[in-house]
């Protein structure tokens, strides 16, 4: 059984179901042991298929899914996780996240946390956590019954959105940060600063970006359906940046957020 969230995972957002099983299977063959999906991505069944097809022991793999913000009331949340559990068809789900906080606190976080604990007792999930929570929302959640069990806050972090105050607050509260959209919607590949650091190390811009996140003790999610890209990304874990590289990447922060839908909290 994987007991803590593995530091490098495969994302599956915007990966069509038809390509997902193969992408998951090839990532697992490379060595990935952490796969991230969501009810919202409509590909949970294919994620489960990829896990089963890989031939790798189920207990060696960590699978995360998410509950959409419209399903955070007790009954809706349990129904959502029963659905995810059936679609994934891999036994107990390792981690379930609240995908976005309930807009304007319409559903109290205490109700959602109680439902997540119930889902644990039902054997649907092993752990729970949150995503897209601001520092005040995370603090409120941590104070509610069961809040201390929150294992991660999954948020957008890239060189162009270092998200420093939220990352620092989350880590200070003892919660692991998981980064999504780490490449800034493809911008990292073209950035001249990141490219020059990549050249210096004989690495790629994606690898430099992931190494910068790992140096900040942030769990990385990278998505790719291309096995070569998956291998390159995985190998980023071997790259060690020096203090000068990190300082240069730190200057790229523009506070530029890609994921900011109408139902997002006030950042
Ligand atoms: N909690 C949330 O609200 C939330 C929001 C967004 C995302 N997420 C999660 O975070 C994951 C990561 O975010 P993301 O999907 O935006 O990931 P990303 O890794 O920043 O971007 C994925 C894109 O980058 C390309 N790519 C990846 N590695 C590459 C490489 N080495 N060289 C060239 N292109 C490369 C992929 O194309 P190819 O397939 O061609 O390689 C794909 O188009 C998602 O998949 C999802 O699981 C969560």
Q: Read off the pLDDT of residues 22-64 as tens digits, 9 standing for 90 and up.
A: 999 999 999 999 999 999 999 999 999 999 999 999 999 999 9
Nearest CA to ligand 1 atom 4: 180
Count CB atoms within 10 A of the CB of residue 267: 14
Atom index in ligand 1 nearest the CA of residue 97 equals: 1
Domains of the chain by start residue, with CATH:
8-185 (3.20.20.100)
One-character DSSP codes across 122-165:
TTSEEEEEEES--HHHHHHHHHSTTGGGEEEEEEE-BTTB--HH
Q: Which atom of ligand 1 is nearest to the CA of 232?
A: 31
Mean pLDDT throughout 184-195?
98
Q: Which atom of ligand 1 is nearest to the CA of 12?
A: 45
Map tokens 């073209």 to a residue.
Answer: 190
pLDDT of residue 190: 98
Mean per-residue pLDDT for 216-227? 98
* 40 part of the active site: no
Q: How many angstroms separate the alpha carbon of residue 225 from the centre of ligand 1?
A: 9
Overall average pLDDT of the 66-73 stretch: 98
Assign residue 36 a region (left: φ > 0; alpha: ψ between -120 and 50; beta: otherwise).
Answer: beta
Q: What is the rounded CA–CA span in Å between residue 75 and residue 22?
A: 34
Beta strand extents in the chain (DSSP E only): 8-11, 34-36, 62-67, 93-98, 125-131, 150-156, 176-180, 219-222
Average pLDDT, the chain: 98
**12 Cβ below 6 A of ligand 1:** yes
Q: Is 206 in the pocket of ligand 1 (CB under 6 A)?
A: yes
Q: For the segment 118-172, what is each residue's pLDDT rounded down to a tens digit?
A: 999 999 999 999 999 999 999 999 999 999 999 999 999 999 999 999 999 999 9
Rounded to the nearest angstrom, the distance between the alpha carbon of 210 and the centre of ligand 1 is 12
pLDDT in tens, 245-254: 999 999 999 9
Instruction: State if residue 22 touches ligand 1 by the CB under 6 angstroms criterion.
Output: no
pLDDT at res. 184 = 97
pLDDT higher than 90, residue 256: no
pTM (two decimals): 0.98
The predicted pLDDT at position 20 comes to 98
222 Cα: distance to centroid of ligand 1 (angstroms)? 5
Contact 102, 112 (CB under 8 A): yes
High-pLDDT (> 70) share of the chain, %? 100
Tens digit of each residue's pLDDT (9 = 90 or more) over 95-115: 999 999 999 999 999 999 999
How far, in Å, from the CA of 203 to the mean position of ligand 1?
19
């Amino acid at each position: 059984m994987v007991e803590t969230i593995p530091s490098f995972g495969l994302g599956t957002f915007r990966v069509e179901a038809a390509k997902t099983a193969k992408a998951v299977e090839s990532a697992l063959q490379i060595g990935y042991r952490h796969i991230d999906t969501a009810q919202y991505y409509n590909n949970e069944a294919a994620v489960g298929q990829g896990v089963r097809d890989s031939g790798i022991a189920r207990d060696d793999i960590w699978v995360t899914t998410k509950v959409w913000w419209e399903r955070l009331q007790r009954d809706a949340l349990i129904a959502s996780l029963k659905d995810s559990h059936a679609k994934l068809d891999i036994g107990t789900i390792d981690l379930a996240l609240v995908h976005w906080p309930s807009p304007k606190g319409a559903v109290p976080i205490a109700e959602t946390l109680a439902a997540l604990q119930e889902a644990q007792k039902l054997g649907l999930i092993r752990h729970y956590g949150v995503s897209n929570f601001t520092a005040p929302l995370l603090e409120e959640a941590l104070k509610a019954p069961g809040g201390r069990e929150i294992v991660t806050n999954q948020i957008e972090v890239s060189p162009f959105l270092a998200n420093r105050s939220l990352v620092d607050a989350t880590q200070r509260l003892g919660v692991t940060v998981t980064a999504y959209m780490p490449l800034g919607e493809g911008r990292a590949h073209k950035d001249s600063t990141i490219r020059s650091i990549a050249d210096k190390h004989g690495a790629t811009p994606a690898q430099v970006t992931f190494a910068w996140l790992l140096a900040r003790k942030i769990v990385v999610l990278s998505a790719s359906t291309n096995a070569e890209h998956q291998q390159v990304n995985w190998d980023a874990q071997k790259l060690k940046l020096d203090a000068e590289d990190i300082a240069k990447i730190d200057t790229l922060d523009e506070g530029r957020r890609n994921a900011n839908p109408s139902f997002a909290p006030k950042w």
